Structures are given as C-alpha cells and as structure tokens.
Structure 1
C-alpha cells in the first residue's frame, strides 16, 4: 500500500472531528502505535495540529522501564512531547488484563487533548468480534470497537486504523525502517486473547481467507443495529419517564414486552449502570412491587406507586450552589448528586432566566409557592404529597431560586408568576452524570 493511502485514512478520520486540534497518541512503542505516531508526525505540520504522545507504564514487565525509555527517545526524535504515566494495576476481580486496561483507560481519560488516537487495526477488530461472540456478547459486543467515542466531555477517542490490516502497518514500518518493542506477554497463551490470536485466528484464516474483513463487516452491521436500538431506547425512555425522573412501569408495558425491557435497559445505561443478565432479571421480577429495593454497584432503585426511582447515595440534601442558566445543556451538580437539564416548553420565561443568578438550595420547611396563575400560594409539603414524590426523593431534590425568589422545586412544581408557554422547564435527574454533561456547575456557597 502506498504510504499516502494510510495517511489519507488518518486525515479522513480527523476531518470527521473538526474541533479536534490537539491530538494525543496512546503510544506503547509497539508496531501499531509506532506507525500511527510516525504518520501523524508527518501530517500535523500541514494540518496545523498540536501533536503529543502518552505512554502508560503498567509496571507488569521487567522491561517496562526500557519500553518507557524507548518511547521517550523515539518521540523526542520526532519532536513530539511525550508523557510517561506510571499506573498501579489492580489484579483483583477481572485479572491482570482487565486491571491493566482499566488503569490504562483511566489515564487516557485524563489526557490533555481534544482527541486521543489509538492504533487498533482490522485484525484487532476481527479478534475482538470473535472473542466477544465466544463469551456470548450481544449486539454491543459484536459491534466491538467504534472508530470514535467520547471518553469524557471535550475528549474523543479515535481509532483511525480500524480498516487497515496489520500486514499493511508492518509493510509501512519496513519501508520507513522503523523499529519497535515487543511485549513478551503477547506470546503467552495462558491469556484468552493471546490464545485466540496465536492459535484460533490463524487456523480460521487458513480455512476462511477473508475472515478479518468478514468479521469487521459483522462489527459494522452490529454497530448500525446498536445505534438504531440506542435511538429507539432514547425515544422510549423519554416516553416512560415522569416529570419526577421516575420510570413509569405502566407506560413501559404499553410498548410491548421486548421494547419495555429495552427501554428499562436504556434507562439504566443512561444512569451509568449495565447490570448482568441475572441482576436485570431480578429487577424485572421485583419491579411491580412498591417495596422494591434493587442495587447494582453504586446505583440503587426503589419502587413507588408503580414507578422506579433512583435513591440518592447518601440520602441527604446538598448545600446551596450558585449557577448560571445555559439552555439545552446537561449539567452535573456533584454537591447534590444529580444532573440539571433545561427543556424547551412550558416553563420559566427566557427573559427571566437570561443573565440571572440562580441557586440550588435545600428545603428548610415552610416554603410556599403559587403554582396556578392567579391562585393562592401553597405549601410545598402539600404539593409534594399531591405529586406523589417518593419520601427519599423529597430531601434529595433541590429548590431553584432566582435572585432570592423561589422559581421551582425541580421537576415537581413551578412558580406560576415566572412561567410562560414558551419557556424552559428545569428537569432534575438523580444519579451518575451523563458523558455529555458539563462539569460542576459552579461553586458551593457559604
């Protein structure tokens, strides 16, 4: 393959991310990342990009220090700044491979760049599809590795070589007389991935010469199907959520059994939870009981009046938080353990919100608010009972104030004196922050 073809693939991938101007390569020093970094070093001057590298030192091999030295030396020869990140690998639970990956990706997420590029190629993709299939994975597992995904707000992970074979990378390295490091653990068949790579894939390729291309095609088809299901899930979750953020089981039942299950899974995924089959089936079995109490890692759900609600982790309210209004933007508020999103529709008038200083405050008792234009003010306690707010959610839902005036009890009631048909409704969701949420809204007052 002409070198320009490889460079063109990388340039095309970057063109799909026009906001990514600061590029970092996850650089192990192996063949794949060596080629990727070398290609990018040639591209970035013309494209006007700022290029850097990140080498993760796992400390698992006696040669780890030598690999770090090699990474520093090679990147310096290209004039590319390189950060060596030493990590501690937790061997408990999923084992060394899983622990190393967790430590590596945690370091990737702290990368100071707009995009982090990894050198996974088509052979890796095929291997991943087969490995996941052997473990009984669903569509998401068969979709394997996406070309791009969000690591955190402001940082996108890119894999520009997914349509490139390892043989093509090796040919490029030979043409440019590149040397690289070899991780001796990659030849140890005790690890499942290595066994598949060393024994399974060669045997299958001998029988099916187009194996890698075929499995890569499976990944693309699965990714398309998964994307369609994800879109359906977002629509169905929006249908099933009540204004308190609870998942209405009766509404879900009208979708039919399969869509109801998928909607519930999609909601859990939005909350940052992907329970295994046994835990999910346990939730389904208990779901209709108002006595339900179900937990998965850091997430706890409880049933109340035929709906499922997230239980705040500490069961206490946060303090006063000062914030600004940013329309249609999800904002994670760590002091309260929830996310605030403004949705267009009947809500606070935009001219009231523009440039205003807002505060989230805990209930103190005795608060009142007019919720019907021209009507009397009413006690929040009474409004809470009428709205069917679960007891544990009452102390975990903040009050929203504007210049000292009570605007809304988030998701429960709104001040009619400040409301309009074409305004902004503040939606509050307890639980983990979504990936696209902005970071802490503001400072905590007092």
Structure 2
C-alpha cells in the first residue's frame, strides 16, 4: 500500500461505536458519564440536564438525559430512539449511537450498530447475562461489528466484587465465541459513580485493564483499504458541455470499498463492459489513487453508457451480478413481510423492482435456533429470505463487505423502509426452503 494511503488513514482517526444492553442496565448513564467526564458537554447542555433532573425530584444531575432527548424517553426513563452524539478527545474523534435496550426496539439497535466499528454491550452486575444481553451480542455478530466490549455496570451495587465480574465475563465471552466473535474486552464499571469510565477506579484495584475511554481511544480500527476489492457505485454523471470541456464525461460518487488507480482496467456492472480509468479527481484536483470512503469523480478512457446505479469495479475483482439474492434480514416495519410481496430493493445507488420469493426461516436469537417456514416476518424479526430482482445486481457477501453486501427493501406504494438486508450467509445457515410463492402480476413477473 502506498505511503499516501497510509498517511491519509492514519491522520483521520475516527471511531464509530454503539451501546447496547437491557433496559435499566445504564447505557444512557454510561454515555452521559463518558461525555461529562471527557469534558464533551457544553455548559448550556449540562444546565438543561440539571434543570430537567430537578423537575424529576433528583438532587444530582441525571447524566442519562444527555442522550435521552425525546420527551417520551425522559418521561418513561427509557431509551426509545437511537441517539447519536459526536465528541472528540485529543487522541480520537467519535460518533456514538446510544441504542434502545427493550426487545420492542431491536430494529433500532440494528440501525445504530449497522455502521459501528465497535459495540459496547452493558450488563447489570446484579443480573448477569440475560436474554436481552444474548440478543444484542447476536445482533452485533450478525452485523459483523469488528470489536465488542463487555461493560459490567453497577459494580458499586455488588460491593465491587471481583468474582462477580469474573463470572459474568466468562459466561459472556463463551457465548460470544459461539457466535463467531473472536475477542471480547471486559471492563468492570460504575457509570453512576464514574469508576473505570474515563478515570481508573480507586475501589477496584484488582482490575488492571483500560478504562472504557482509554480502550475506545486506543483500539485499532483503521483497516488497509487496499485489502478490500474496489467498488465505486455511480451516483451522478457529470457532463458540463462547456467550450473548455466539450467532451468531458465524469462519474461522481463515494468509493464504497477498496482502492481505485489511474490506468487500472475496470468493468462496469450490470452491463459487463470494460474500460480503463483515465483520470480521478478528488476535491477538485487530479490524483493517481483514491480509496474508500473518499468522494471522487472518475473518468474512463472509453465512452460507455453509464448512469446512476451502475457499479465500477476493477476487472481483476469484479463481483458476479445476479437476479436471485439470498440474504439475512432484520424486518423494521410494522407491516409484515410475506412471500409474494412486491418491493423495491435499494443497493448502494441502484433501486430496482423485486419480489420476495420465499422466507425459509426465522432466527430465534435466544438460542440461535432456526424456526423453519414462518410464513411472515414482523417488526424486529430476523430471518432468511430469497428475493428475485427485475435487473441483475452486483452484491458482495456481507461477510466480505458491509457496504456493498447490504441493501434495503422498500414499500413501492409509500417509500417506507421495510427491511435491512445482508447478502449471503451473514449469520446462521437457513433451514430447508419451502416452495417459493408464485408471482405473476403484470410488471412484476421476472
């Protein structure tokens, strides 16, 4: 990999992470403590929290209110929606997603964790690993979140006992390994008191590991872009048609993965036509190399018929295009998803008509078993589906690329997002498939 790529990625240290855990495990309090103790809270924000806390009869500021921004959340004392917070320390910048803990809002956790590079799973030290803990660990594994932190919270309520922490850490680590999560970093904390959140705990001298913030600041997250295949979804075709540039044709978009180089042979999908990269422009200037997630304009040596939704990829690593997709999905809409449903499938910048051919199984996250032929998927369900699209799509396996292996199913009637999908065998093997539902309505038979 060139020194230019190394320097660029090293200079932009950004970590996206999500929190998850059962209701009342203290996720929002942990996030609030993290923001407060790292001095990432503005004075007027802290004043608003203090005012809201007094209105609820609390003497000390309730730091959970720094993330529970909706009125319904403050009134119920639970997190409902995903709360995003942006903060920075001298060592790294952060985008934080505080996700709901209630099983009713599992789909919200999927939203928050879908782009996360690290998941912090909280456990109440008094309760240990519970059903929702296992569910959130399974979702993190399903979404291929690279790093997992187990934060054993409320250690102050169990006398800061090391054996309690050790037993919980062992149980969770064993379960995580069964999901394919290779490594878990376990940290004993008290979010309310601030132990091991930003500063080391004075009452848990038996723990010699990092604090939560120290781990977030130092965990390696920068991957080598050249290790991934180049994928460039075309977002916009630029044709200025000016006297200075009468023949200019550029293809603008964001590189989804990998690296693009001038002079490289590329294939355009779904047409399969080939050309060579003649030029790359980034931030208004010509460059020889560009990498994910840069936004660039690419010029090709040949005048090809290319439009929004096409995918440009190096010919050496071109993905296969197909109309038949097998995927694991999380259903996020209140409307059930059933075989035979007509939907729109959005993959990167391309949206095509599609039909749900079959729902062979639904995943039971409690014990990771497959419920065969469920007939439908309802909100928060995770299951396997097969879809047939009207036009070929070039999807990577989600295990290989979270960006180009994911898609959305959309209701064609009103534009509602129905499902978040992950192509390939993203989690567990599906059960034996039942006969696919027939689909022969005019305009949707493909």
Q: Same fold (TM over 0.5)?
A: no
State the TM-score, normalizing by the size of structure 2. 0.25
Q: Report which of the two structures shows the higher radius of gyration computed on alpha carbons.
A: 1
State the TM-score, normalizing by the size of structure 1. 0.25
Larger strand proportion, structure 1 or 2?
Answer: 2
